[in-house]
Structure 1
Amino acid sequence: MSVLKAMLLGLLQGLTEFLPVSSSGHLKICEKLFGVEEIPLLFDVFLHLATLLVVIIYFRKEIAKFFLVLFRWITRKPAPQNDSCECLCMTDETGRKAIIAVIITTLITGVIGIVSSKIIPDLEIKYVFIGFFVTSAFLILSGILSRRQGEKEYKGITLIQAIVVGIMQGIGTLPGVSRSGSTIAGALATGVKRELAGEYSFIVSIPAILGAFLLEVKDIGEVTSSIGILPLIAGCAAAFVSGYFAVSVLMKIVRKGKLEWFAAYLIPAGILGLIFLS
């Protein structure tokens, strides 16, 4: 793989990983349109690791709060005074609920991901475009539901919210279905505040991406020999830069409550794809 091709794939991955349009779906379209050979799975996982670094840096303060709450929880130390912020760990109580919720969401996603990988084969590209319609429906419905019920006072991520987001993240592993779009939509639909819905979506992506990497890391020698170190570094660098830009844009859109804007792209793209590429 050339350095330029790796950078283009990294650029695409970074943008589509965070924008609710499905990164895996767009990579499949790229393969189809430009005759790109099938992208090695571990290379795709490395690109995901680059975008994971984006999440860690962008939400570094919120992640640090998680670890502080966990430390105080384990050591039974009291929370300091005036230690609150507009985040999932607003207080130690909401932080403990968020930690439990992340574990529940991750377990549910893992079960769905394992089952779907065993019973669902490598599907034809037409299913990517069907996935675009599914994502669009999630985005539109979550916008309607969140506006009707309003944003509830944040008292921590509830069990129901954790389960719903876990199921939605599991559905997000299917071709053409956006992980970020489905999880944010699920959080919004269950009453999570907009900025916290985006934060929770990306926090729960951390164990999901790390899990996928650990499952594929045994093939690291294969990917470095078939792709090369330089293209791998170039692809990851491009994914990081474009990913940071994308997550910054998405969080602004989430706060405005305008996620359905992306349906205006996904629906026409799905229709055109089914007509010309299926």
Structure 2
Amino acid sequence: MREILLGLIQGLTEFLPVSSSGHLALVQYFYPGLDDSDLLLDILLHCGTLVVVVIYYRHDIAAILRATWAGVRGRAADEDQLSRKLLPLVVVGSIPTGIIGVACTAIIEASFASLPLIGLALCATGTLLFVANRADPARTRRHISYRQALIVGTVQGIAVLPGISRSGSTIGTGILVGIERRTAAKFSFLLSIPAILGAVLLEAKDLAGLTQTPHLIPYVLGTLVAFGSGYLAIAALIRVVVKQQLTGFAAYCWALGGLALIVGLVFVG
């Protein structure tokens, strides 16, 4: 079933550092019948992965909200400082993401039609993962500065290009600018919440133009598959990041990127 397959692709590749948009573009090229242009389905699948992040980091999100409220009331404890600072860090990181996403809409849409560009982007993702995996853990720290948040947020904006993995590029960049691995992963996924929510809201305004009522059961199944596979993927990725085992994902991105380059340059031309 199309909805279930798209849900599986969305759930796994949204969080694993292999680029969900790149995979969808490649799948559509090799299997033209598997079209993901269904607006309602796309929104539901993104909602499914958004819920994954909220549930997985529910304790951190609750701590952030409690610490922020305590800070507003002037009752914040010293141990709440890290949680309280995460909210403004996410806001700062989201600013360049939003600017790039809105300003580069035409470029983003055009890049989906270019297999060579997708291939190069996948190879770039693989290289970033490989370099970040070799970074010395002793040179990183749990503290995140506003400068680091701005850099990671800028990279997240660039990751709207198909082939650039959002999770891979933001986690990898976070590690390279000196953020401890687990903290880099946490910040990456917390930063994805406003990004995914913003994308959903932008798409939702076009729902008024729908002329047909879809069959809801396949859509619900696809959303549940996106949620289940996404939850497993995010848990697996965090273990991989902490244990410095990103090399396998780097090799996968290189292989898939090379395939996209060959097909795009030789067979499509």
Q: 2:27 aligns with which of 10, 17, 30?
A: 30
Distance 1:166 1:231, change over 3 A: same
Residue aligning to 2:102: 114
1:206-245 paired onto structure 2 within 5 Å = 206-222=193-209, 225=212, 227-245=214-232
User: Who is 2:131 aligned against?
Assistant: 141
Of residues 121, 143, 148, the one that matches 1:131 is 121
Corresponding residue of 2:2: 5
Q: Give the total of aligned pairs.
A: 262
RMSD: 1.9
Which consecutive residues of structure 2, in runs of 5 or more, have no partner in the other structure? none
2:52 and 2:231 in contact (8 A); partners too: yes
Query: Which segments of 5 or more consecutive residues in structure 1 lack a partner in the other structure?
Result: 81-90
* 1:246–1:163 distance in 2 versus 1, CA, 3 Å: same
Q: Evaluate the alpha carbon distance shift between residue 22 and residue 69 of structure 1 in structure 2; reply closer, same or farther with a 3 A threshold.
A: same
Match in the other structure for 1:184: 171
Deviation at 1:139, TM superposition (A): 0.9
SS at match of 2:64: helix
1:173 maps to amino acid = V
Please say if residues 18 and 165 of structure 2, whose CA atoms lie closer than 8 Å, have aligned partners that are also in contact.
yes
1:221 CA displacement: 4.7
TM-score under structure 2 normalisation? 0.90
In the aligned structure 1, how far is the partner of 2:104 from the partner of 2:127? 21
The answer to whether the Cα contact below 8 Å between 1:97 and 1:158 also exists between their aligned partners in 2 is no
Could you say which residue in structure 2 is the equivalent of 1:20?
17
Which one of the candidate residues 54, 57, 76 is aligned to 1:56? 54
Does the 8 A contact of 1:42 with 1:219 survive in 2?
no
Describe the SS at the equivalent of 1:53.
Answer: helix
Could you tell me which residue of structure 2 aligns to residue 74 of structure 1?
Answer: 72
- TM-score, normalisation: structure 1: 0.88
Q: Structure 2: how far apart are the matches of 1:153 and 1:25?
A: 32
On the 8 A contact 2:19/2:164 being kept in 1, the answer is yes
Tell me the distance in 1 between the aligned counterparts of 2:234 and 2:124: 22
Task: State percent identity of aligned pairs.
Answer: 39
Alignment of 1:198-209 (within 5 A): 198-209=185-196
What is the rounded CA distance, in whole Å, between the counterparts of 2:141 and 2:152 in structure 1?
19
Structure-2 residue corresponding to 1:39: 37
Deviation of residue 223 (structure 1)? Answer: 5.7
Q: Report the AA paired with residue 143 of structure 1.
A: N
